[in-house]
Amino acid sequence: MKKIVTHSALAVLLALGAGTACAAVKVGFMLPYSGTYAKLGEAIENGFRLYVMEQGGKLAGQELEYFKVDDESNPAKAPENANRLIKRDQVDILVGTVHSGVAMALAKAAKDADVTLIIPNAGADAITGPLCSKGIFRSSFSNWQPGYAMGPVAAKKGYKTAVTITWNYAAGKESTNGFKESFEKAGGKVIEHLTLPFPKVEFQPLLTQIASLKPDAVYTFFAGGGAVKFVQDYAASGLNQTIPLLGSGFLTDGTLEAQGDAAKGILTTLHYADGLDTPRDNAFRASYAKQYPDMPPDVYAVQGYDAAQMLEAGLKAVNGDVKQKDAMRAAISAATIDSPRGKFTLSKAGNPIQDIYLREVQGHKNQDIGIAAKALADPARGCRL
Ligand code: PHB
């Protein structure tokens, strides 16, 4: 009798032990699956899953279990949505989101609960600024980065005055501020800053204002469905014939099929481009096209893909044991990510230090035409780590 008890106790212990070693890492996607940024969320998830598939369905030998919440790019619902993943689903890792306002609330919830967060898009400067934290990383950019890279490009073209136009929320403000900072440093002047509420697309009155202000150029931040409409309206108004449209690359990324000829010739700056023609990027694009033939391999897909690479770097360092948070985070922070965009490392604040490409819309491509800013690091103003 005694022997049987011992055996079954041993069996239970073995089962428990095996269970612990094999417990799946719970990954929570908080992304927009509806609204103007719906396609961006889908591309991010695609990219993440693609990298995991390429590793045979595991990261660092660990199975992953996915949980999803549609955040609707709605900041008002963000704390509740974040807590669905954190408290209800008890995820080990958060991956989200696209919209800067939603990401601010998500970052706060992640920090409060001490859950590691990888942001696969939202550029809110504050997250890798005053709100920076050892457990928060970005696989994307800060809003400042692409904007700042465009200022000298515009100045070199001989533009002396510019008008900025965007949605009135963190991403728009910070992107246009970045542009203003470097454009004015290079001798230009931003003469007007036009805004409308997110995600509105009634651009006509603002386009009329641009026509009467007659700047040398217009710099803009729009993305997703709103960017499609803005580029079409700008062309329909005829302004594209006289006042060149510049933007952070989100204006034309993942949107060119829908924008058609209206986007022709637009110059943008971004940490990804078409036509990089590196073995790494070509392999990524072939793999993405095979898996998702109906979607372009855009910047959002790359950011999702790299979020998975960052998680893998962390998991490898702790043999898949997500409970070793400090060691996992230190490994993510120290990683060099072999991204389709080109290799990058992370700043102390957790933001990619990366090349920002100058791109020109040619056909349905954001063709790489040079590097606008080499190894650009966000200044991480206000971050104390
Ligand atoms: C943002 O809100 O930070 C944001 C949204 C969409 C983009 C880029 C930035 O394409």
Residue of the nearest CA to atom 3 in ligand 1? 122
Question: pLDDT at position 5, please?
Answer: 39
Whether 20 shows a pLDDT value over 80: the answer reads: no
Task: Give residue 229 CA to ligand 1 midpoint distance, Å.
Answer: 16
Q: Do residues 164 and 173 lie in contact, with contact meaning Cβ atoms separated by under 8 Å?
A: no
Task: Give residue 215 CA to ligand 1 midpoint distance, Å.
Answer: 25
Task: Give residue 307 CA to ligand 1 midpoint distance, Å.
Answer: 16
SS3 111: helix
Residue of the nearest CA to atom 5 in ligand 1? 99
Mean pLDDT value across the chain: 95
Residues framing ligand 1 (Cβ under 6 A): 37, 40, 98-100, 121-124, 143, 171, 223, 250
Whether 69 shows a pLDDT value over 50: the answer reads: yes
How many residues in total does the chain contain?
385
Domains of the chain: 24-141+277-350 (3.40.50.2300), 144-270+359-376 (3.40.50.2300)
Question: pLDDT at position 376, please?
Answer: 98
C-alpha to C-alpha distance for 381 and 385, rounded to whole angstroms: 12
The residue-averaged pLDDT of 349-353 equals 98
The helices-and-strands tally (H runs, E runs) of the chain is: 12, 15
Task: Give residue 287 CA to ligand 1 midpoint distance, Å.
Answer: 25
Task: Give residue 99 CA to ligand 1 midpoint distance, Å.
Answer: 5
Whether 142 shows a pLDDT value over 70: the answer reads: yes
Task: Give residue 8 CA to ligand 1 midpoint distance, Å.
Answer: 55
Residue 262 is encoded by which pair of tokens? 């209206």
Buried b (16+ CB within 10 A) or exposed e, 291-324: ebeebbbbbbbbbbbbbbbbbbbbbbbbebbbeb
Question: pLDDT at position 22, please?
Answer: 59
C-alpha to C-alpha distance for 295 and 70, rounded to whole angstroms: 20
SS3 274: strand
Whether 236 shows a pLDDT value over 70: the answer reads: yes
Share of the chain above pLDDT 70, in %: 94
Q: Which atom of ligand 1 is nearest to the CA of 174?
A: 3
Question: pLDDT at position 384, please?
Answer: 95
HSE of 337, CA atoms in CB hemisphere, 13 A = 34
Pocket test for ligand 1, best of 104, 250, 268 (most atoms within 8 A of CB): 250
Whether 218 shows a pLDDT value over 60: the answer reads: yes
The residue-averaged pLDDT of 59-79 equals 98
Whether 6 shows a pLDDT value over 50: the answer reads: no
22 vs 314, more confident: 314
The residue-averaged pLDDT of 25-33 equals 98
CA distances from 250 to 123, 235, 331, 342 (A): 12, 17, 30, 18
Whether 129 shows a pLDDT value over 60: the answer reads: yes
pTM of the model: 0.94
What pLDDT digit, counting tens, does each position of 318-332 carry?
Answer: 999 999 999 999 999
Question: pLDDT at position 15, please?
Answer: 43
SS3 94: strand
Share of the chain above pLDDT 90, in %: 94
Question: pLDDT at position 4, please?
Answer: 42
